[in-house]
Amino acid sequence: MALVPPHGGGALKPLLLTGAALEAEKKAAAGYKKVEITTREACDCFMMGIGAFTPLSGFMGEADWKGVCADMKMKSGVFWPIPITCSVGDEENVSVGDKLALNCDEFGGLVATMEVTEKYQIDKVFEAKNVFRTDDKEHPGVQKVYEQKKWNIGGPVKVLSEGGFPDEYKGIYATPAETRKIFEDAGWSRIAAFQTRNPLHRSHEFLCKIAVEVMDGVIIHQILGKLKAGDIPADVRVNAINALVDNYFVKNTIVTKGYPMEMRYGGPREALLHAVFRQNYGCSHLIVGRDHAGVGDYYGPFDAQKIFLEIPAGSLVIKNLNIDWTFHCYKCGGMASLRTCPHGKEDRLLLSGTMVRKTLSEGGDLPAEFSRPEVVKILQNYYQTLEEKVEIKLHGAATGDVKK
């Protein structure tokens, strides 16, 4: 069987220039108006560059922005759950028709060029409430919306950089074209993607192994962009995941790769975005477990599963692979879920990435049932090197004090 098609019905649409075209555009960019963009906007450029955001051709104009916020649909009718936008202030003096050199110092300078076809103001509260289901400025995704400048600018982009990700994460970083080739060479057509911003604890491991049983293979797909304070850095996470895969998974059932996006912590809407670009990566399924892409107590533990039932039929080709709350049950004598374990909360050890970070950051020891010793050792070494520690607060999705 063939792999699922890219999102939008056409071919992959990578916007990254190479060879002579790249050199010519770099030269031309020297004469364009220079605009400094955020790391989130730069990472969105990288995602468009490698074709992960197919079929986007650039940053969204007003009709696309409004349609995506309100109805998860672009002007063309293509399903899209989170706006991909770029903003400027009055000080940049950007006008429609301008050609811009988009610069991000954190990624080495010139990222992309852009032709401005629209300039418009947005209602930030409208975006926050529709996309994130809250306008609370403590929510890290909402905070980024409010930090956007006065004007949004829309128009096509030409991507000139991958931000150093291919070198920094050699062997992990991959484009959709590369993962599709890996799957095709392996003879896989049913591939489940496991999204993670955390090292894998036993519950994550259990989810992946359930998927291995019913799929041709699983891709553990790690986010490589900037995270919120207190999250474990990508390089440490990569080492921890590699240690787990090398020691506890059957060879040739797991692919470990990463992508250059920045987390929005958008819960249900972000789960849909994860599905969109995993389809571009060639995945037929997205594993959706407890509190997918959530933060704090902004979302119910299974809201990210429920939203797949709310979108119009045909929005996505990729399917969600829902797995119930998982934990270690002392009476069952191993990993279990709410669907398989008949015992009470007092018999269960609930596992979460937040609990891992909090325990280790405070110098505590994790129970053996929580995480594999090879993983714990890597994480302990990381926390011992930290001079400043971020306070990590537990929330309902981490402790189990929520209703399903």
Q: Residue 356 burial (CB < 10 Å; 0-12/13-18/19+)?
A: buried
Segment 239-285, tens digit of pLDDT:
999 999 999 999 999 999 999 999 999 999 999 999 999 999 999 99
Q: Specify whether 198 is catalytic.
A: yes
In terms of Cα–Cα distance, which of 276, 269, 257, 326 is closest to 295? 269
Question: What confidence tens digit (pLDDT) does each residue in 197-231 have?
Answer: 888 889 999 999 999 999 999 999 999 998 877 78
**Pick the catalytic residue: 40, 197, 264, 290?**
197
Choose among 87, 104, 101, 88: nearest CA to 39: 104
Residues 6+ apart with CB under 8 A from 356: 198, 199, 201, 366, 370, 371, 379
User: Predicted confidence band at 401 (pLDDT cuts at 50, 70, 90)?
Assistant: very low
Q: How far is CA 369 from the centre of its chain?
A: 27
- pLDDT exceeds 70 at position 133: yes
Task: Give pLDDT tens digits for 46-56.
Answer: 999 999 999 99
CA distances from 171 to 238, 247, 253 (A): 10, 18, 17
SS (H, E, C) 275-314: HHHHHHCCCCEEEECCCCCCCCCCCCCCHHHHHHHHCCCC
**CB count, 10 Å around CB of 95?**
10
Architecture category of domain 170-259+265-399 in CATH: 3-Layer(aba) Sandwich (3.40)
What is each CA distance from 72 to 119, 226, 310, in whole angstroms? 21, 25, 11
- Residue 399's Cβ-side half-sphere holds a number of Cα atoms within 13 Å equal to 10
Instruction: State percent of the chain over pLDDT 90.
Output: 82
Full-prediction pTM beyond 0.75? Answer: yes
Band of the pLDDT at 392, cuts 50, 70, 90? very low
- Is the pLDDT higher at 316 or at 234? 316
Please report the DSSP string for 137-182 in residue order: TTSHHHHHHHTS-SEEEEEEEEE---TTHHHHTTTTB--HHHHHHH
Which class is 19-163 in CATH? alpha beta
pLDDT in tens, 337-351: 999 999 999 999 987
Q: pLDDT digit string (tens) for 344-386?
A: 999 999 877 777 777 887 878 878 888 899 998 998 888 888 7
Using the predicted structure, report yes or no on whether residue 312 has a pLDDT greater than 90: yes
**Residue 398 predicted with pLDDT over 50:** no
Give the C-alpha separation, 136 to 167, whole Å: 37
Q: What is the pLDDT of residues 175-206, one digit of tens each?
A: 999 999 999 999 999 999 999 988 888 999 99
Q: Which residue of the set 198, 278, 320, 372 is catalytic?
A: 198
Which candidate, 156, 44, 38, places its Cα nearest to that of 87? 38
Question: 6 CB contacts (<8 Å, ≥6 apart)?
Answer: 12, 13, 51, 54, 55, 176, 279, 280
The answer to whether residue 399 scores a pLDDT higher than 50 is no
User: Could you please report the per-residue DSSP string of 213-224?
Assistant: HHSSEEEEEEE-
Residue whose structure tokens are 């059932």: 253
Q: Are 82 and 270 in contact (CB under 8 A)?
A: yes
Q: Where are the domains of the chain?
A: 19-163, 170-259+265-399
Quick one: pLDDT band at residue 388, thresholds 50, 70, 90?
Answer: low
Which of the four pLDDT bands, split at 50, 70 and 90, describes residue 77?
very high
